[in-house]
Amino acid sequence: GGGGRGRERSRSKSREMRRLEKEREREEQRRKEEEEERRRQVEDATRGDRTVMIVCLHHKADERDVYEFFSGNAGKVRDVQIIRDARTGRSKGVAYIEFYLQESTLKALALSGQPIKGQAVRVQPSQAEKNRAAQAAKAAISYTAPREAPLRLYVGGLVDSLANISEEELKKLFSPFGEIEFIDLHRDPYTNKCKGFAFVQFKNASEAREAMTAMNGFQLAGKELKVGIATSDMQLDGAGPGGPNLSLGNSGSMLDSLGDDASSAGPNANPGLLRDANDRLALMQKLQGSQSMSAMPTLAPLGQPGGGQPSTVIVLHGMFNPNQVNIHNDPEFFNDIEADVEQECRKYGAVNKVWPDQASTRGDVWVRFADITSASNCLRALDRRWFAGQQIIAEFTTEAAWAATVR
């Protein structure tokens, strides 16, 4: 019987080997999955830094046009998403581009003002994921904080090219900032077009405020969004002492009047005049800016009047509102501006000096770069961009002007 026992032993041995082999494989599989999960988390965390957002995109430009333009000029593109009208499939002129490498996004930002299909596009950082990560980090630290109250935002400016916007598209625009409880889009019962405004309610007030800061003044399909906190009287505007649900089920004419004065309760307290002046100004800037840009793409980088000869020095007008500066209350104001501008400008090259002109009436900040290429890239990227609700105009100036002005 000795032989039988030996065979038995070798069989159990090979069973044992198989079992160990299987365990090793399982272990290997588990390790792979963990590795994959970790990689995915890192990828998710950096996606926001690898993504840019394009606005003012030509409505005929498709994913391939965008892909080819950025692949050729910025770096390897991982994904292109053009935001389209759910019903007609027509492009909204907004796209997100995700790159493989973070440095590609810096190159992409420097392409702002360059034409795709003959129309100058604006390229801006997609801050959404970053905001959400910051939010999550904050929540993790202060998880004992009391529940936040929801907050409703008023979104105005949904006219002309934006009159066909859908709840779904508004959700896409605002959901990166946090959880949305509902969207109330006011439509004309006859044409089914948007009446020019909507309400977006966030679950958490802090996220709503973040969305308001980021999206007020935001350019979408050539229109500027007005975003403010919705007040209770806003839904009752022009309706007298009626019930609070008037904005939903009342006669058309009253809602039209709401469309007109809704922004009065919003961020600009004095509607009428200011609103028209702003609209006129925006329209004139658009006519000067976008027409000349799309007609003569080659001039895009220097498309502004008095752009001057390219040099290492640029002046940014409109970086602060001189009437609102109160050094007594905010002694660090100009230091903060200097730091912000320097941080932004460093994305485009080496900065030698940043100097906010405290005496200027136009909110000027002077920036001197180490070389002309960096200055040109920065000018292209920042010219006519919106910052804290004001539009920046960037132009070149001379060494002599720098020497005469900057102290």
292's tokens: 């000349």
Diameter over CA atoms, the chain: 109
CA atoms within 13 A on the CB side of 153: 31
Residue 322 has pLDDT above 70, yes or no: yes
Region 61-72: mean pLDDT is: 93
Q: What percent of the chain has pLDDT over 90?
A: 25
Separation in Å, CA 25 to CA 13, 22, 37, 194: 18, 5, 18, 58
Pairwise CA distance, residues 43 & 35, whole Å:
12
pLDDT of residue 246: 29
Which residue in the block uniquely carries the two structure tokens 């702003």?
Answer: 278
Q: Name the helix (H) or strand (E) containing 151.
A: strand 151-156
Cα separation of 83 and 68, whole Å?
18
Residues 255-295: pLDDT tens digits?
333 333 333 344 443 333 334 445 545 544 544 443 333 33
pTM score above 0.75: no
Mind listing the pLDDT tens digit for each residue in 7-35? 777 888 888 899 999 999 999 999 999 99
Which pLDDT score is estimated for 59? 87
3-state SS assignment for residue 309: coil
Residue 31 has a pLDDT of: 92
* Residues β-bridged to residue 77: 99
DSSP alpha helix (H) spans, 151-215:
167-174, 205-215
Quote the pLDDT of residue 325.
Answer: 82
Q: What does pLDDT average to over the chain?
A: 77
Q: In what order do the strands lie in the sheet with 122-125?
A: 77-84, 91-99, 51-55, 122-125
Phi, psi of 84 (to 5 degrees): -120, 160
Residue 140's pLDDT is what?
62
124-150 pLDDT, tens digit each: 887 655 566 666 666 666 555 456 788
Mean pLDDT along residues 384-404 = 84
**Nearest residue to 383 via CA among 322, 295, 292:** 292
Question: How buried is 346 (Cβ within 10 angstroms: 0-12 exposed, 13-18 middle, 19+ buried)?
Answer: middle
* Cα–Cα distance for residue pair 287/244, rounded to 1 Å: 41
Query: DSSP string spanning 138-158?
Result: HHHHTTTSPPPPPEEEEEE--
CB-CB contact of 401 with 366 (8 Å): no
Categorise residue 353: left if φ over 0, alpha if ψ from -120 to 50, beta otherwise: beta
Residues 186 and 199: their CA atoms lie apart, in Å, by: 8
